[in-house]
């Protein structure tokens, strides 16, 4: 009788009992990813220095924990088909790098692709899902971003289900990020497969633009935001809509960076930084580590915010929070300064998804401006403010008991 290999045993024992690892992302994941800033130019020195910077800049203390290596870390497969890291870029190996990151109280994320090749042309996981999952577990990986290049006619749900089962069989709890770009509506089927799923194509470091690459497009912050319409009913603890990694610190203005970060907080989106953590301005650090904005994102209810009102490039967004509180965001999409006058009594909120209501004629709330760090009155008076171009005002409303 032929001996069963470890891989064979895994395949046999997974069967109908496979599932995703529950409870790994009860609030939106917070971390960093190499792609937006460094593309394929990754190596172990960069990753170690980024882990150091995540601690030194206060990002770890603010809640960030994942150091995610995106595409191009891959070397070749060995004679048994197991993937190896690029020996020139990662000479110490992934286990040593994982140990370094874990010793700092952080977690390691890695990248692969459901197709034959990654988007950067490295070996994909198609046909090697269980072997790759075994390697990730052996290395101590905590997070997998799984892309969708070179997938030919693969069924998206089936491909991601296969990797989910492989991760479960390998036995190490790993956050599973479905980077399928929203092409096959992963919000309809991703809840039982992954912890987050991309809802759009790639973001770019521009507040309001579309970059046409010919066969595909990358999107500015506002374009990404608009593509979230109708998706909030699919998100919640352990299953998040992912509007892509952040571009804060990658060349937009401070106003635009603040607006970008705030809207991701309102969306209950994963907060995955995409800049060079080793070289950040004080303004970038202040935005990425702001405790009150992050608290809106990380609220335990896990309710994604919604656009309640829009006129002349001015939008008002509401997000239900724990303890009967609400976050309210005023977003100026235009290139001109806007004067805000918001009459609370005329804007009763009734959110059927969260089953939350807010009638300002019956309930008075105190108002805190989260970016200005000050209490500014109550909702018994109209809210008035001046809002610069491409900027936001973020408020927290607390009912007066």
> Residue 90: which CATH number?
3.20.20.70
Number of compact structural domains in the chain: 2
Q: Which two tokens stand for residue 221?
A: 């912050």
Give catalytic status of residue 257 as yes or no: no
Catalytic residue among 202, 238, 276, 391: 202
What does the pLDDT read at residue 69? 98
Q: Same structural domain for residues 97 and 164? A: yes
Within-domain flag for 6: no
In a domain, 342, yes or no: yes
Residue 4 has pLDDT above 70, yes or no: no
Task: Indicate whether 56 and 204 sit together in one domain.
Answer: yes
Strands 30-33 and 66-68: parallel
Cα 16–21–25 angle (5° rounding)?
150
Same-domain pairing of 255 and 370:
no
The answer to whether residue 9 is domain-embedded is no
Query: Do 293 and 352 fall within a single domain?
Result: no
278: left (phi over 0), alpha (psi -120 to 50) or beta: alpha
**Average of per-residue pLDDT across 111-128:** 98
Q: Please report which confidence band the pLDDT of residue 18 belongs to, taking 50, 70 and 90 as the band edges.
A: confident
Q: Are 57 and 280 in contact (CB under 8 A)?
A: yes
Task: Answer yes or no: is 8 within a domain.
Answer: no
Residue 5 lies in a domain: no
Same domain, 312 and 234: no
Both 310 and 280 in a single domain?
no
Which of 278, 297, 316 terminates a domain? The answer is 297
Per DSSP, what are the bridge partners of residue 322? none
The answer to whether 324 is a known catalytic residue is: no
Same domain? 71 vs 193: yes
Phi, psi of 388 (to 5 degrees): -65, 165
- DSSP E strands: which ranges in 230-337? 240-242, 271-273, 306-311, 314-320, 326-332
- Do residues 319 and 266 touch, judged by C-beta distance below 8 A? yes
Of 268, 297, 326, the position where a domain reaches its end is 297
Per the residue annotation, which of 142, 147, 244, 257 is the catalytic one?
Answer: 147
Is residue 252 located within the same domain as residue 347? no
Inside any domain, residue 230 = yes
CATH number at residue 326: 2.60.40.1180
In this structure, the answer to whether residues 89 and 71 fall within a common structural domain is: yes
Residues 264 and 315 in one domain: no
- Examine the fold and report which residue of 274, 297, 320 is the final residue of a domain before the chain moves on: 297
Give pLDDT, residue 346.
95
Q: Is it the case that residue 84 has pLDDT exceeding 90?
A: yes
pTM of the model: 0.95
Average pLDDT over residues 266-274: 98
pLDDT tens for each residue of 292-349: 999 999 999 999 999 999 999 999 999 999 999 999 999 999 999 999 999 999 999 9
Domain range for 258 is 15-297
Residues 143 and 258 in one domain: yes
Residues 268 and 315 both lie in one domain: no
Average pLDDT, stretch 14-24? 82
């Amino acid at each position: 009788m032929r001996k069963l290999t470890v891989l064979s045993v895994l395949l046999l024992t997974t069967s109908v009992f496979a599932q995703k690892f529950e409870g790994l992302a009860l609030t939106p994941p917070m971390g960093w990813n190499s792609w937006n800033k460094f593309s394929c130019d990754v190596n172990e020195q960069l990753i170690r220095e980024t882990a150091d910077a995540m601690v030194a800049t206060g990002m770890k203390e603010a809640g960030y924990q994942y150091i995610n290596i995106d595409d191009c870390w891959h070397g070749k497969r060995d004679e048994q088909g197991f993937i190896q890291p690029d020996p020139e870029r990662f000479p110490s190996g992934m286990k040593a790098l994982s140990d370094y990151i874990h010793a700092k109280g952080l977690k390691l994320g890695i990248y692969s692709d459901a197709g034959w090749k990654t988007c950067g042309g490295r070996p994909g996981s198609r046909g090697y899902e269980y072997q790759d999952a075994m390697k990730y577990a052996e290395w101590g990986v905590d997070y997998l971003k799984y892309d969708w290049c070179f997938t030919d006619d693969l069924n998206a749900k089936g491909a991601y289900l296969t990797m989910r089962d492989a991760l479960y069989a390998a036995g190490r709890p790993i956050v599973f990020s479905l980077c399928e770009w929203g092409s096959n509506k992963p919000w309809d089927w991703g809840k039982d497969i992954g912890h987050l799923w991309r809802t759009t194509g790639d973001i770019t470091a521009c507040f309001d633009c579309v970059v046409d690459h010919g066969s595909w497009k990358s999107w500015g912050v506002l374009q990404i935001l608009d593509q979230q319409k109708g998706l909030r009913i699919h998100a919640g603890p352990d299953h998040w809509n992912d509007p892509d990694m952040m571009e804060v610190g990658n060349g937009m203005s401070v106003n635009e960076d603040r607006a970008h970060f705030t809207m991701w907080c309102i969306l209950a989106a994963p907060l995955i930084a995409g800049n060079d953590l080793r070289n950040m301005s004080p303004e970038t650090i202040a935005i990425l580590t702001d405790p009150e904005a992050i608290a809106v994102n990380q609220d335990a209810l896990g309710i994604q915010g919604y656009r309640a009102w829009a006129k002349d490039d001015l939008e008002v967004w509401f997000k239900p929070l724990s303890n009967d509180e609400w976050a309210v965001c005023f977003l100026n999409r235009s290139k001109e300064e806007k004067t805000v006058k918001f009459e609370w009594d005329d804007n009763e909120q009734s959110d059927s998804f969260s089953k939350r209501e807010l009638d300002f004629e019956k309930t008075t709330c105190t108002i805190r401006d989260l970016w200005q760090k000050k209490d500014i009155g109550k909702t018994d008076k109209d809210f008035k403010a001046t809002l610069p171009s491409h900027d936001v005002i973020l408020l927290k409303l607390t009912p007066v008991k």
